[in-house]
Structure 1
Amino acid sequence: MTWDDLASTALVGTDRRPFAGDLLTVAAVETARRRAGRRPAEPAPPAPAPAEELPAVGRRAAERLVRIMGGEHDRLLPEWLAAAAATGRRVPCDVLPDLLERGRRDRSIRAHLGVLAGRRGRWLADLNQEWGYLLEEPTGETWELGGPADRRAHLRALRAADPAAARELLESTWERETPDDRAEFVELLADGLGMADEPFLESALDDRRREVRQAAANLLTRLPGSRLSGRMAQRARACVSVSGSTIAVEAPLECDRAMERDGVRPKPPRGIGERAWWLQQILARAPLGVWDRPPSRLLKMRIPDWDAEVKAAWVRAAVLQKDPEWARAMFGWDPIADLLEALPPAEQQELAAGFVREHDLDSQLIMVLGGVSSHWGEGLATAVLHKIVKVAAVQPWNLGELVKLAGEHIDPALFPLAESYSPVEPVQRVAAFLRFRADMYKELA
């Protein structure tokens, strides 16, 4: 037996996978054999690296990449890679080993490496299995010939150009897709989502894979006219009634198969009771129009029982359904970054700027700012710089993360604003960070 056979037998147990002999003894012998080594074979030289098709970035851009990888503002590496990929060029060959090794440890930088690493990067990845992840990243191949990442990229681009054609393409190969691919493909239908997608997504609720069913249910929740939304509205009305200034709630007593099919997960997370969990999921997936009242009015009503659960469900509903009015109202009740995604970038920044002005510097403020789309404009930038000056006078040791966020997310073209805003050292660090990013974009242009 191979080592993998022995390991899998040990994992499932010899009751389920009978084994002739003493498994531990055989494993010990195999361990000794593997440690003893083997006679080296005469290695065949690898095929030469193929010629590159894309031009490399310029010398100054390459030098800045080396500085970033060397530790100078190293959190900018994903932004540099994204900006470089947008130019249609590749990274220089001499940085590939270090970049591929960094990608092995940090999944967040892999998204653009399939193109940026060029043909030589893929040649290196084929020689070193620890860099093999690169072979799964998009390369520009087509739907029929590409790997999973290429096919996701193709479907995403087609969906943006022609939503119906993308859905029809996916339907044509749906039965042949792997469960993991099906779940990721369904999520891509969020772009351009409409009622024309409803029949396909409704059928996906019967998929064997839970992640596929959840992804389909999440999208159907965003369609008030979907059959799922209708079923959830009916369940919500059975649980909640609004009369005068009071909201009466009776949580469901069970989670049946029909609820599970519609995305209600029966087993609650640790610390939440079953009925509370089922109630939250039903209300989160019920169309927000079922309440027939603005959220600002509902939040003022008395909820004698299940108050926290109902409001937590409304937060989740605003996030799932991307409803700006509800996101705005629920942000006032529970300011979490996820709610900002339902708002256009300018309004995200306006809400965040108000939050920065009204709240002390703490972990919640950092999380809210982390959810605001880059690049921050002058309003939010000014609010954050003012906060930095204020905190620098009393708690300068508490500014580390706020200074980094400001430097990473403020529009780099605003570096003169930061330079002239205040001479205090943390603000000047932000200004230097912004100038660094402004020069980075100029070199890649």
Structure 2
Amino acid sequence: MIWEALSKLALLGTERGQLPPEVLKALEQVGIQATQAPEAVVLEGAALYHQLRRAGFPLQHLEAPTAPLLQGKQAAAPPQAARQMEHIVRGNFREALPEALQLLHQANLPLPPEHLPALLYKAAKKPDFWYALRPVLQPADFELLRLNPDWSSIAERPPVADWQKETQADRVQMLRRLRFEQPEQATSWLTTCWEGLTPTEKKELISILDTGLNASDQPFLEAQLSDSRKEVRQSAAQLLLKIPDTPLQDTLYKEAATWLTLHKDGRLDLHAPPKPISAFKKLGLYSSKKHKYTGGERAGYAYDILSKVPPKRWEAYFRKSTLDALRLFARANQHQLLTDAIANAALLHQDHRWIEALLRHWWRTDNEVRWNSALGKQLMAALPDPLFNEIMSQHLKQHQGYIEERSFAGQLLCLGVHKWESRVARQVLQNFRDWLNAAQSVYWNMWHYKRILRVAAYLAPVDILPAFRAGWNQRTPIWGNWEGDIDRLLKTLAFRKDLNEVLNPPGKNHNKKTP
């Protein structure tokens, strides 16, 4: 009614009509002075209710005060930090958001409240971002989280003693809270209500156990392997595969070992099984779809099972080091199937030794096809930051000058997922500056450096800024092609430097309340 009255008067003009008394009263209740000039009332009212219409729901009148949400007043972020967050959330420095959240968390400071809704919408769509945002939220934020249905996928609430009587939506929210704060207690809580749940409800609750998965979950998950419904069995099996040294992993390993034959001359042969084991099919451990590997469905079955066996098992089986065991697979009769399977197993179990060994093997053998594949990019992204910097430092020592686009180091840098150490950042940017200062014409094979500069702006340490504020030859014939990229690099580093100084001042301590 209010929006219609405002729209009508805006079309007619305030000299030809006026707002009804009930509309003026409603506007006064939301803070608009009805005694000011009619045109001002219409403009302010339209601005407010236009935003409400965009939000998609009207404001609710609360009969009771919201005192519980406001208990425990939190220290506010400095005003300058709020302005910087504005530039990050809505401006030109959005890629600095992970760093800003980490700094807020370290300083025990809350998010500026005006940015909370936008970040919660993003977190509801991107689970990985939710894990970065959640530590920064205050107790009141978790209460607000439950008020908007659009945030239901990440909403949490404290568990209650008789939670088996709650709705499934409430049980889900309670289990989420438990997995973040008391992960070992989650399965014991589940057993109190498990028998009365539908298969769909069981599957949903099992999937939440992936957060904070630990050895204490093993007995509960193993009990679900005998469930009559496949969605329950298969959901439990997928999580058991991630817990080290479970009986399920032992079974898969022992079966897969029978397919491998190591000859006296060092050759390794894979003999794909003639028929899949029905018990594995019941647990959803392999698919019947056709694979690209030689051997058809039999080879595909072998690939599916080998992709789930922890790679470290093969070191013990062959009594060889990580690198020597990898070389066996790389020289085997089905070498692509085996190395792909081992790579996927390394990702599944986050075995960084094998991830590093695979990448270094491809790097040393100059296997560009492998490191440029989707699987190669996944392995690169899974490298811990210290390993990334160690590999990059070695590459820069061995290959002086600029980095080629499709090279191992070029692809690793362009991923943009690792924090650079100062030694790496300085060498990469110094090599680029040396090339640019001496260049006399455009080289199209250098355009990937635009991406590298963009990555450096957000992932290089800010202490390199003084070294690169100057020293650029602006008289080089190709300066115009790179001026904007260099300017963006320096401005971003300066912005991040200010952000660090504001959110991490020396000697300042904040107290943060947990939900």
Please report the TM-score for the alignment, with normalisation by the length of structure 1: 0.70
- Paired letter, 2:88: I
Larger mean CA deviation between 233-242 and 146-155 belongs to 146-155
State the match for 2:94 in structure 1: 74
Aligned partner letter, 1:142: P
Whether 1:56 aligns to 2:84 is: no
Q: Is the 8 A contact 1:110 1:134 kept in 2?
A: no
Contact 1:350 1:379 survives alignment (8 Å) = no
Q: Is the counterpart of residue 46 in structure 1 residue 96 in structure 2?
A: no
Residues 434/56 of structure 1: CA separation in 2 closer, same or farther (3 Å cut): same
> 1:368 aligned to 397, 412, 431, which one?
412
User: SS at 1:275's partner residue?
Assistant: helix
Q: Distance in 2 between the 1:61 and 1:330 partners?
A: 43
The structure 1 residue matched to 2:453, chosen from 391, 403, 406, is 403
Q: Residue 350 of structure 2: which of 322, 338, 348 is its match? A: 322
Q: Is the Cα contact below 8 Å between 1:378 and 1:414 reproduced in 2?
A: yes
- Alpha carbons of 1:319 and 1:133: their partners in 2 closer, same or farther (altered >3 Å)? same
SS at match of 2:66: coil
Unpaired runs of at least 5, structure 2: 1-57, 164-169, 363-369, 474-481, 505-515
Q: Is the aligned partner of 1:306 residue 2:334?
A: yes
Alpha-carbon shift at residue 441 of structure 1 (Å): 2.8
Deviation string, structure 1 residues 159-201 (Cα, Å, up to 9, x no partner): 4xxxx55654555565556422312314521xxx45x654444
Q: Deviations over 1:112-162 (max 9, x none)?
A: 279648858966984xxxx533354356x4233877456334323334xxx
Shift of 1:292: 2.5
CA distance in 1, matches of 2:385, 2:95: 22
CA distance in 1, matches of 2:285, 2:355: 22
Deviations 1:333-380 (A, max 9, x none): 354354457765322321244457756224975663477865321233
Counterpart Cα distance in 2 of 1:372 and 1:218: 29
Q: Conserved in 2, the CA contact under 8 Å of 1:248 and 1:303?
A: no
- Report percent identity of matched pairs: 20
Moved more, 93-102 or 342-351: 93-102
Note closer, same or farther for the CA distance 1:409–1:268 as it changes in structure 2 (3 Å cut): farther
Do the aligned partners of residues 259 and 109 (structure 1) sit closer, same or farther apart at CA in structure 2, a change above 3 Å counting? closer
Question: 1:82-97 residue pairs with structure 2 within 5 A?
Answer: 82-85=102-105, 87-95=107-115
Counterpart of 1:212?
235
Counterpart residue number, 2:176 = 152
Q: Does 1:259 align with 2:274?
A: no
Output the CA distance in 2 between the equivalents of 1:107 and 1:198: 24
CA contact (8 A) 2:179 2:211 kept: no
**Code of the aligned partner of 2:498:** D
Q: Quote the Cα distance in structure 2 between the aligned partners of 1:166 and 1:391.
A: 57
Q: CA RMSD in A?
A: 4.1
Structure 2 counterpart of 1:437, which letter? R
Cα–Cα, structure 1 residues 291 and 369, in superposed 2: closer, same or farther, change >3 Å? farther
Q: Is 1:350 the equivalent of 2:394?
A: no
* Residue 318 of structure 2: aligned partner: 291
Give the Cα–Cα distance (whole angstroms) in 2 for the partners of residues 324 and 105 of structure 1. Answer: 28
TM-score normalised by the chain length of structure 2: 0.62
Deviation at 1:69, TM superposition (A): 2.9
SS of 1:209's equivalent?
helix
Change (3 A) 1:390 1:331: farther
Instruction: Give the CA deviation at 1:436.
Output: 1.4
Q: Which moved more, 1:100-109 or 1:49-58?
A: 100-109
The answer for unaligned runs of 5 or more in structure 1 is: 1-42
Shift in Å, 1:329 = 1.7
Q: Secondary structure at the match of 2:498?
A: helix
> 1:387–1:46: structure 2 CA closer, same or farther, 3 Å change rule?
farther
1:143 aligns with 2:159: yes
CA contact (8 A) 2:178 2:186 kept: no
**Conserved 8 A contact 1:217-1:262:** no
Distance (whole Å) between structure 1 residues aligned to residue 219 and residue 414 of structure 2: 36
State how far apart, in whole Å, the 1-side matches of 2:123 and 2:350 are. Answer: 33
1:442 aligns to 2:501 (yes or no): yes
Taking structure 1 as reference, are residues 147 and 439 closer, same or farther at Cα in structure 2, changes over 3 Å only?
A: farther
Q: Matched residues in 2 for 1:405 and 1:119: separation?
A: 35
Asked whether the equivalents of residues 337 and 369 of structure 1 are also in contact (C-alpha less than 8 Å), the reply is no
Amino acid at match of 1:133: D
Quote the Cα distance in structure 1 between the aligned partners of 2:357 and 2:493. Answer: 33
* Structure with larger Rg: 2
Partner of 2:253: 233
How far is the alpha carbon of 1:437 from its aligned partner? 1.6
Give 1:47's aligned amino acid: L
* Deviation readout 1:83-114 (Å, 9 max, x if unpaired): 43554444444445655666677776555279
Secondary structure of the structure 2 residue equivalent to 1:379: helix
What's the offset of the Cα at 1:241?
A: 0.6
After superposition, the C-alpha distances for 1:270-324 in whole angstroms (9 at most, x for unaligned) are 6454223211222233333323222433444574632210111122232233334
Q: Is the 8 A contact 1:327 1:343 kept in 2?
A: yes
Distance 1:345 1:413 in 2: 18
Paired positions, count:
387
Q: Tell me the amino acid that sits aligned with residue 176 of structure 2.
A: R
Amino acid at match of 1:155: R
